Chains A and B, each alone.
Chain A
Amino acid sequence: MKAQNRRAFLKTAAAVGTAAAGLSTSTAKAGPKNILAPDRMGVLVDTTVCVGCRNCEWACKTAHGLPAEPLETYSDRSVFNEMRRPNEAALTVVNEYVNPKNRDLPFNVKVQCMHCDHPACVSACIVGAFTKEENGSVIWDTDKCIGCRYCMAACPFQIPAFEYLKPLDPQIRKCDFCIERTAKGQLPACVEICPVEALTYGPREELVQLARQRLKTYPDRYVNRIYGEYEVGGTSWMYMAGTEFADLQFPKLGPTPAPGVSEAIQHGIFAYFIPPVALYAILGAIMWMTKNSKEEGL
């Protein structure tokens, strides 16, 4: 990845520069952990393979200690009549869309946090409760969160959910990429249970290659695009589809990272505290001069 190299170079250059000035970057920049490791993991979701069994919904709830109905009840396909979104009680849901080419083979789309490479939530969170981990997952620290819900306003995929009906200790809930399971070497719960291998877990770089290979081998099966490869600067979860992504209700997003403009403005206003200090000095000077001129006038 070219951007990655340039980024790494800039980081090194900045580190050398500030070290020379007698400062270390770690103390100069307060902020949450936001790592973009070259070998970060991801999941490739092939919506043309998914059969809508919703076993992943059950596995996710079970893995996260959320109340779940018995697995048999998940074969009920009537839930597909309405579009559903992940919420505080379900971190992932599967939706169904009509296949214009073959009505008997509908498209099923699993929805969960995309685990962005440049997450808006990590940038936005007032207390830095969100972090982008080395393995690619974007997770949330319950001990820090103040419940301001700025992450929800910032997220381009409308993923974080909030427990609105809890007066005490309400949680922000979203997919955590099964960070506890993967730390133990297990697969994410949804990937593990998927009976048709619609979900492929692996290093993101390899998944991109895999997806490109599939696009090349079966050009008729897919639209020629990997959703998440470039959207908002790239996401750890990526999708392949047999129809336009807009028809599957994927948001139309550009290639610029979601926090990009906001952070540029923020760091511009506060560039090493020079603008505020300069403003303070100017105002002080004006105050002093007008006072003197008043006294001379008297």
Chain B
Amino acid sequence: MHPNMKPTPIKAKFFTPGVFVLCLLALNGLVFLAGRFFFGLGSVTNLNDQYPWGLWIAVDVAAGVALAAGGFTTAALGHILHREDFHVILRPALLTAMLGYTFVAIGVFVDIGRWYFIWHPLIMWNGSSALFEVGICVMIYMTVLYIEFLPLVTERFIGKVNLPGALRFLNRPVDTLLRLLDRGLGKTMFVFIIAGVVLSTLHQSSLGTLMVIAGPKMHPLWQTPVLPLLFLLSAISVGFPMVIFESMLASRSFGLKLEMDVLSKLGSSVAPILGVYLAFKLGDMFIRETFLYLQELNTASVMWTVEVVLGVIVPLRMFLSRAVLRSPVLLFTASALVILGVALNRINNFVVAYTPPYEFGSYFPSIGELSVTIGFTSLLVLMYRAYVMIFPVISLPDSASAPKTKYAIRGGK
């Protein structure tokens, strides 16, 4: 624990060559997205009556939810288990989860045929539908994430509200509102933090229930009644690697010093979690004897092998090694492999494993689908960059931080 580390808005130039490329990718995605809204889903995607769900559901939604798991795993670690030594990663993880879920919601919004009815599940309930449960939990959890982010807003703006021009008369009321929020949230935040963890456990597992109803349409290598448990375990196991991955990317992008001791300590708990996931995954395979399907050489068996060997076994071995935990490059690689493995698992479950009874051709995402997914990912990275430059998310050594106006003012009240 560094007592002198303090979350601070990062001072840097927003536009760099990399940011410019991301802007182009985002723009390209938005152009294809416009096509979807003017000419229908079929004009941009390769979806059809045989393959109703494709890349957007598998990656933007399912993988998006899983990769945002850093939010609830670190919240459990830092706030529920009170591990103060991990506090520097809580805010970056929270921001990733908040933006991640925002893009999950946007992903759902553009994928459903009647986007203007996206609010229907709020009042039209179907308790037996796994999708209903996922939808409701994601909606509530996203709200909880925004509430958990509010203290960063109050911290940044209390005593500094400075609205432009005609809105100036609002400065005082907004400041009062922020102070009220700050005081109220300080006392009630624990309710939201626990709720966030419970909601995540629920919908991460229910996301696995989704494809159970597809029954024999899904390849036996993935179709199992324990899918919800596997989804939950894989989501938990990808939480810390995701935090390590994005901390390293952010540090590199802004030229900050790596918090290697915190990241290595975080990395050291990945192996046991990943091990539990692997044990359940292989245990289920042996109980159902689905390893027989690995004898055949086809897309399913290759994809399963890549997912498990490259995405689980290799990083598991890596995280067990002290040398890997100490080396930034190897730690980054191992984390990236876990992320790849879980993303691949979601793609496999929702696309590769799905075989329609009447198939007129196989599904591969269109240029439009790929463009939109890449565009959304770029937008997410751009927003992350903007947020850490506006709000106190990333911790810096205190000497480099901005003057502590907030505390001066709060001390006076």
Q: Which chain B residues in 28-54 approach chain A with CB under 8 Å? A: 36-43, 45, 47-50, 52-53
Q: Which chain A residues in 146-202 approach chain B with CB under 8 Å? A: 146-150, 152-154, 156-158, 160-167, 169-170
List chain B residues, Cβ under 8 A from A262.
128, 130, 209, 212-213
| A207 touches B (CB below 8 Å) | no
| A23 touches B (CB below 8 Å) | no
| A269 touches B (CB below 8 Å) | yes
- Other-chain residue from A148, A157, A167 in contact with B131 (beta carbon distance below 8 A): A148
Min C-beta distance of B137 to chain A, whole Å = 10
| B213 pairs with A270, CB closer than 8 A | no
Nearest-neighbor residue (CB-CB) of A278 within chain B = B198
Nearest-neighbor residue (CB-CB) of B214 within chain A = A153
Min C-beta distance of B48 to chain A, whole Å = 7
List chain A residues, Cβ under 8 A from B113.
145-149, 162-163, 166, 170
| A287 pairs with B80, CB closer than 8 A | yes
Q: Mark B214-246, 1 if CB is under 8 A from A, else 0.
A: 111100000001001000000000000000000
| B165 touches A (CB below 8 Å) | no
| B129 pairs with A123, CB closer than 8 A | yes
Complex CA–CA separation, A148 to B210 (angstroms):
13
| A126 pairs with B40, CB closer than 8 A | no
Q: Which chain A residues in 40-67 approach chain B with CB under 8 Å? A: none
List chain A residues, Cβ under 8 A from B193.
287
Q: Across the A-B interface, how many residue pairs have beta carbons closer than 8 Å?
A: 201
| B129 pairs with A150, CB closer than 8 A | yes
Q: Which chain B residues in 289-332 approach chain A with CB under 8 Å? A: none
| A261 pairs with B212, CB closer than 8 A | yes
| B358 touches A (CB below 8 Å) | yes
| B135 touches A (CB below 8 Å) | yes
- Other-chain residue from B47, B125, B210 in contact with A164 (beta carbon distance below 8 A): B47
Min C-beta distance of B135 to chain A, whole Å = 6
List chain A residues, Cβ under 8 A from B53.
149, 153
Q: A123-B128, A125-B126, A146-B117 are in contact. Are A280 and B198 (CB under 8 A)?
A: yes
| B389 touches A (CB below 8 Å) | no
List chain A residues, Cβ under 8 A from B215.
120, 156, 253, 258, 261
| A127 pairs with B120, CB closer than 8 A | yes
- Other-chain residue from A146, A266, A291 in contact with B114 (beta carbon distance below 8 A): A146
- Other-chain residue from B121, B130, B205, B358 in contact with A158 (beta carbon distance below 8 A): B358
List chain A residues, Cβ under 8 A from B79.
287
Classify chain A: how many residues form its interface, as a range. 35 or more
| B390 touches A (CB below 8 Å) | no
- Other-chain residue from B38, B45, B130, B357 in contact with A251 (beta carbon distance below 8 A): B357
List chain A residues, Cβ under 8 A from B117.
144-147
List chain A residues, Cβ under 8 A from B129.
123-126, 128, 150, 266
- Other-chain residue from A30, A127, A129, A266 in contact with B130 (beta carbon distance below 8 A): A266
Q: Mark B112-146, 1 if CB is under 8 A from A, else 0.
A: 11110110110011111111110100000000000
| A269 pairs with B202, CB closer than 8 A | yes
- Other-chain residue from A144, A161, A167, A254 in contact with B120 (beta carbon distance below 8 A): A144
| A286 pairs with B131, CB closer than 8 A | no
| A223 touches B (CB below 8 Å) | no
- Other-chain residue from A249, A266, A279, A286 in contact with B201 (beta carbon distance below 8 A): A279
List chain B residues, Cβ under 8 A from A153.
52-53, 210-211, 213-214, 217, 354
Q: Mark A123-143, 1 if CB is under 8 A from B, else 0.
A: 111111100000000000000
- Other-chain residue from B38, B82, B194 in contact with A291 (beta carbon distance below 8 A): B82
| A165 pairs with B358, CB closer than 8 A | no
| B50 pairs with A158, CB closer than 8 A | yes
Q: Mark B167-206, 1 if CB is under 8 A from A, else 0.
A: 0000000000000000000000010011101100110011
List chain A residues, Cβ under 8 A from B356.
158
| A32 touches B (CB below 8 Å) | yes
| A31 touches B (CB below 8 Å) | yes
| B225 pairs with A261, CB closer than 8 A | yes
Q: A269-B206, A280-B194, A291-B82 are in contact. Are A128 and B216 (CB under 8 A)?
A: no
Enumerate 26 A-B pairs (CB-CB under 8 Å) in ascending A order: A29-B127, A85-B358, A120-B215, A123-B213, A124-B129, A127-B125, A144-B117, A145-B113, A145-B114, A146-B118, A149-B52, A149-B113, A150-B131, A158-B49, A164-B47, A165-B41, A167-B40, A170-B41, A251-B357, A258-B215, A269-B228, A279-B201, A283-B76, A284-B194, A290-B81, A291-B82
Which residues of A are at the interface with B, using a C-beta cutoff of 8 A? 29-32, 83, 85, 87-88, 120, 123-129, 144-150, 152-154, 156-158, 160-167, 169-170, 249, 251-254, 258-259, 261-263, 265-267, 269-270, 276, 279-280, 283-284, 286-287, 290-291, 294
Which residues of B are at the interface with A, using a C-beta cutoff of 8 A? 36-43, 45, 47-50, 52-53, 76, 79-82, 84, 108, 111-115, 117-118, 120-121, 124-133, 135, 190, 193-195, 197-198, 201-202, 205-206, 209-217, 225, 228, 354, 356-358, 360
Closest CB pairs A-B (n = 5): A147-B113, A164-B42, A152-B52, A128-B126, A149-B52
